[in-house]
Amino acid sequence: MSAEPTDSKNPILTFIGNAFLFLVPVSLIVMLGIVGAAFIGGIGGNGKKPEAPAAAAAPAPAAPAATPGAPATVAAATTPAAPPAGGAPASAIDPAVMALGKASYATCAACHGPDGTGLKVGPALMAPSLVGSQLLLGDPSKPLLVVLKGIAKEDMKFMGMMAPLGAALDDQKLAAVLTYVRNEWGNSAPAVTVEQAASARAKYDPIAAPAGVKRAEIDQVVAAHK
Ligand code: HEC
């Protein structure tokens, strides 16, 4: 008997309780939204506004943290590499010149190898490695002389011979191929210009050395034609 009234009241109390349980979280969410909107700086008058700034604010802090962070690191890693070399060389080389140089390197690859380290014939090498070559990477007059006039063969250190290749390459290709080998395979040196190639051809043309300039005389010949 006493259980009946309690049971009949309970549904009402339960309903009110459920209504509270429902309303409290809803009002909390709305209040949080208003507080959130106020915090962000917007004025959250209704339930929708806080959502928008909250949603817009969320990606904003995430993006600046990730996006500028990565490029800044990449820029910091690549930028210092260029200035020590002189500002213009490796990084500023015209890709079209590198492409022409790569194509023209077919003239050299039979001896210096596709990777520049010198083609191997059994245990022997056709030609020395161009990777890190001081003669190649220094004063461009020296590699220009070497390619235009060749190097006299004095020993069997290498299977091949550095033949005079001036006739095989016009000034543009000569400049491009040297620019390419000076900036490929980890090499880094300023580009060789078409003007430098033309000037070297004019200067070295009268040198009578059909079988190539002697290796020991390269510095001397370059100095004499400055
Ligand atoms: C037929 C083989 C052959 C071809 C082709 C050839 N070279 Fe050489 N090259 C040599 C040999 C051999 C030497 C080393 C000569 C010596 O010191 O006696 C050499 C030396 C050099 C050197 C001097 C490297 C050093 O550190 O002493 C440079 C630079 C060079 N070659 C560039 C080139 C370029 C650029 C081409 C293409 C345009 C080319 N060579 C084509 C065989 C070749």
pLDDT digits (tens, 9 = 90+) for 42-68: 444 444 444 444 444 444 444 444 444
The confidence band for 92, taking pLDDT boundaries of 50, 70 and 90, is confident
Name every protein residue with a CB atom under 6 angstroms from any ligand 1 atom.
107-108, 110-112, 126-128, 130, 133, 135-136, 143, 146-147, 151, 153, 158, 160-163, 165, 177, 181, 215
Q: How far apart are CA 37 and CA 53, in angstroms?
A: 7
Q: Are 177 and 194 in contact (CB under 8 A)?
A: no
Q: Are 207 and 151 in contact (CB under 8 A)?
A: no
Q: How far apart are CA 139 and CA 151, in angstroms?
A: 17
Closest residue by Cα to atom 19, ligand 1, is: 162
Q: How far is the CA of 107 from the centre of ligand 1 (A)?
A: 10
What is the predicted pLDDT for the residue at 32?
32
pLDDT at 217 over 60: yes
pLDDT at 225 over 50: yes
What is the predicted pLDDT for the residue at 21?
47
Please check whether the domain covering 87-224 is classified as CATH 1.10.760.10: yes
Q: How far apart are CA 203 and CA 154, in angstroms?
A: 25
pLDDT tens, position by position, 95-131: 999 999 999 999 999 999 999 999 999 999 999 999 9
pLDDT at 176 over 90: yes
The confidence band for 11, taking pLDDT boundaries of 50, 70 and 90, is low
Q: Tell me the pLDDT of the chain averaged across its residues.
A: 75
- Token pair 């161009």: residue: 130
Closest residue by Cα to atom 9, ligand 1, is: 162
* Cα Rg, the chain, nearest whole Å: 38
pLDDT tens, position by position, 16-34: 345 444 434 434 333 333 3
Residues 6+ apart with CB under 8 A from 170: none
Q: How far is the CA of 175 from the centre of ligand 1 (A)?
A: 15
Q: How far apart are CA 61 and CA 41, in angstroms?
A: 15
Q: Which two tokens stand for residue 26?
A: 């809803």
Q: How far is the CA of 129 from the centre of ligand 1 (A)?
A: 9
Q: How far is the CA of 180 from the centre of ligand 1 (A)?
A: 14
What does the CA dihedral 28, 32, 38, 44 come to, rounded to 10 degrees? -60
Closest residue by Cα to atom 15, ligand 1, is: 162
Q: Are 116 and 184 in contact (CB under 8 A)?
A: yes
What is the predicted pLDDT for the residue at 45?
41
Q: Which atom of ligand 1 is nearest to the CA of 134?
A: 26
What is the predicted pLDDT for the residue at 43?
42
Q: What is the mean pLDDT of residues 141-146?
A: 98
Q: Is the full-model pTM beyond 0.75?
A: no
Q: How far apart are CA 97 and CA 176, in angstroms?
A: 5
pLDDT at 37 over 90: no
